[in-house]
Amino acid sequence: MKDLTSHSVAIIGAGMAGIAAASQLQQRGAHVEIFEKSRGLGGRCATKRWQEQTMDHGAQDFTQRDPRFIEALAQACGDRLLPITMPLRDAHGNALQGRQRWFHREGMSRLARDLAAGVQVHTAQELSSALPLLERFDAVLSTAPWPQTQRLFGLQAGAAAASYLPCLAALFLYRGLALGRSADTHGFHQPGMDLAWSACENHKPGRIQGEFTAIVAHAGTSLSQRHLELGPEAIADLLRPLVEQRWQLPPEALAHSLGHRWRLARVGQSMSDAPALPAGLHFAGDALRQSRVEDAWLAGHQWACQYQP
């Protein structure tokens, strides 16, 4: 790999792809700065500190398959990563067998913060165009989802299309511990159904304070598309009956609820090839692979390994 000393790269987005690219470019000697529109890091690896609880409302957990990802996590997070140990179930209630899934003890957004140690990140910097960055940096890498990247780069919509699907999410706190199916289940994975995913955050140790059963819910794509413009309260109201039925929760025990809209939640159709872009402009993100934490990290890491000025 060519040494990049005296080369500078601006990266848009402090999600997994942006952080992975930044670390790898720095290891190659480049000067790197990340510009992130939110106040925190992580992008869709998102955690809400809400009602004194710590709940993941974006990515729920992640795989560790690729040795490069495993090594980066071991160095950055040490023993702060824990495995999911309670059963995940399908729509019929059968336990799902599969690869081990992991979460960060302090919230999925902390995964990003740990991995970004030593990287210069400017938060609360929402860019409307990437082009002014080219006056200060040799290259710009955008890791914002592709439709946002197209706008940042001033490109026509449609080129190298990757489509994204929305997801409505909601957080619920019920008074009482281990209510209903939360006693024997971490989550229900029901792709294609109105309640596509739901999980009990109490099974992530240290997350839930006091005597509450905490549930995260994600609507399926079709339900999300039909109700995309609902506000936070209405999103929670939409998902609540589905959650109470699935988890056998007493409605009168509900203490708090909060909805969240992910407009560009997951890649529906990924890119077959990296897009051809004007000189100095680059793109990496889960659209190059698939919508998984590990794949987003690999997309950023591989881009930075292959990058040649």
Ligand X SMILES: Cc1cc2nc3c(=O)[nH]c(=O)nc-3n(C[C@H](O)[C@H](O)[C@H](O)COP(=O)(O)OP(=O)(O)OC[C@H]3O[C@@H](n4cnc5c(N)ncnc54)[C@H](O)[C@@H]3O)c2cc1C
Number of residues that bind ligand X (CB under 6 A): 39
Q: Which of 4, 12, 119, 219 binds ligand X (CB under 6 A)?
A: 12
- Minimum distance, C-beta of residue 31 to ligand X, in the bound complex (Å): 19
Distance CA 184, CA 186 (A): 7
Which residue carries 């140790």 as its tokens? 205
> Contacts with ligand X in 57-96 (CB under 6 A)?
58-62
> Contacts with ligand X in 152-181 (CB under 6 A)?
152, 167, 169
Q: Which of 286, 303, 304, 307 binds ligand X (CB under 6 A)?
A: 286
What is the torsional sign of CA 183, 184, 186, 191?
Answer: negative
Q: DSSP labels for 77-143? A: HGGGEEE--SPEE-TTSPBPP-S--EEETT-HHHHHHHHTTT-EEE-S---S-SGGGGGTSSEEEE-
Q: Which of 10, 144, 195, 242 binds ligand X (CB under 6 A)?
A: 144
Of 54-62, 82-90, 233-241, 301-309, the window that binds ligand X (rule: CB under 6 A) is: 54-62
Q: Which of 35, 102, 164, 307 binds ligand X (CB under 6 A)?
A: 35
Closest CA to 293 of 36, 65, 139: 65
Question: Which tokens in the block code for residue 11?
Answer: 């990266």
Question: Which tokens in the block code for residue 148?
Answer: 């946002």
- Minimum distance, C-beta of residue 44 to ligand X, in the bound complex (Å): 3
> Contacts with ligand X in 228-257 (CB under 6 A)?
none
Closest CA to 148 of 130, 134, 166: 130
Distance CA 299, CA 141 (A): 12
> Contacts with ligand X in 13-32 (CB under 6 A)?
13-18
Q: Based on CB atoms, which residue is closest to ligand X, 8 or 38?
A: 38
Q: Based on CB atoms, which residue is closest to ligand X, 59 or 195?
A: 59
Distance CA 294, CA 154 (A): 29
Q: Based on CB atoms, which residue is closest to ligand X, 131 or 253?
A: 131
Residues that bind ligand X (CB under 6 A): 12-18, 35-38, 43-45, 58-62, 125-127, 143-145, 148, 152, 167, 169, 218, 262, 265-266, 285-286, 291-293, 296
